């Protein structure tokens, strides 16, 4: 099992592909055991890609202490260093986009080109949906609550008109096969605590890496207006919207190829 000693923790990671280095930072609750995942998409066909379970998640260590966004960013930088990467392209999705912002701000020399997908700057720029406020919702109840927020097209009218598709979407979103593992709930809670305090707004002007901000037109977890503000605050950033909600990278087949094209420069 590939692990790296990172800031006093054992971090589980996977690596695949060939080409320029690419660090993929996944979102809230990300666990590489859940399939399909980022390794089943186009990125490892073009890049030498590393992705990993962040502290508190998956097969990485789950310390019982508060986590900060700086901790997550420093973990990413240390993982890169452990694999001999001085610099890499970075894709951060949702919560991973928040980590990627901290990474490029705290370790600017490590980021060649940056994609921030369906994420937010926090602070005056606007926060993503407050998951910490619905932490009490589990399984199907959580899935039903979040489905029309994740994609505004998936409202109750759509659910009634498409009962089979709705049931499949709820079952997929409700699944948490590792919920009973030791430290799982604690690690997930620590991540939500860190996420709630995310705020890079006043520092975004320091980003020098070429940046693409991308999102779904129907996303209300990271709303389009928040992405617009995020892009406006990063010098020279490009902004692109795709046909989808928070899962636009799956819903719109043109999204990931557009990111690949941007990262190749």
3-state secondary structure the chain: CCEEEECCEEEEEEEECCCCEEEEECCCCCCCCCCCCHHHCCHHHHCEEEEECCCCCCCCCCCCCCCCHHHHHHHHHHHHHHCCCCCEEEEEECHHHHHHHHHHHHCHHHEEEEEEECCCCEHHHCCCCCHHHHCCCCHHHHHHHHHHHHCCCCCHHHHHHCHHHHHHHHHHHHCCCCCCCCCHHHHHHHHHHHHHCCECHHHHHHCCCCEEEEEECCCCCCCHHHHHHHHHHCCCCEEEEECCCCCHHHHCCCHHHHHHHHHHC
pLDDT digits (tens, 9 = 90+) for 139-193: 999 999 999 999 999 999 999 999 999 999 999 999 999 999 999 999 999 999 9
- Report the share of the chain in percent with pLDDT over 70: 100
Average pLDDT over residues 110-138: 96
Q: Write down the pLDDT at residue 1.
A: 75
Summarize the confidence of residues 40-69 as an average pLDDT: 96
How much is the pTM? 0.96
Per the prediction, the chain carries an average pLDDT of 97
């Amino acid at each position: 099992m590939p692990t790296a000693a990172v800031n006093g923790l054992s971090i589980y990671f996977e690596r695949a592909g060939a080409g320029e280095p690419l660090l993929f930072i996944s979102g809230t609750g990300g666990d590489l055991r859940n399939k399909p995942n980022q390794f089943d998409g186009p990125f490892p066909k073009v890049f030498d890609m590393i992705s990993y379970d962040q502290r508190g998640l998956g097969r990485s260590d789950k310390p019982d202490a508060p986590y900060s966004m700086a901790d997550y960013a420093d973990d990413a930088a240390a993982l890169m260093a452990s694999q001999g990467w001085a610099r890499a392209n970075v894709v951060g999705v949702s919560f991973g986009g928040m980590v990627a912002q901290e990474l490029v701000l705290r370790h600017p020399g490590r980021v060649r080109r940056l994609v921030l997908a369906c994420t937010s700057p926090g602070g005056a720029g606007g926060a993503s949906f407050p998951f910490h406020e619905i932490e009490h919702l589990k399984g199907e109840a959580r899935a039903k609550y979040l489905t029309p927020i994740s994609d505004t097209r998936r409202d109750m009218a759509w659910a009634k008109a498409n009962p089979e598709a709705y049931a499949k979407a709820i079952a997929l979103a409700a699944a948490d096969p590792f919920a009973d593992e030791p430290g799982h709930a604690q690690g997930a809670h620590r991540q939500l605590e860190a996420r709630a305090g995310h705020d890079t707004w006043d520092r975004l002007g320091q980003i020098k890496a070429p940046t693409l901000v991308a999102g779904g037109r129907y996303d209300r977890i990271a709303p389009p207006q928040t992405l617009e503000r995020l892009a406006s605050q990063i010098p020279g950033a490009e902004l692109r919207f795709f046909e989808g909600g928070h899962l636009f990278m799956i819903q719109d087949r043109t999204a990931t190829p557009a990111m690949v094209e941007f990262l190749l420069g």
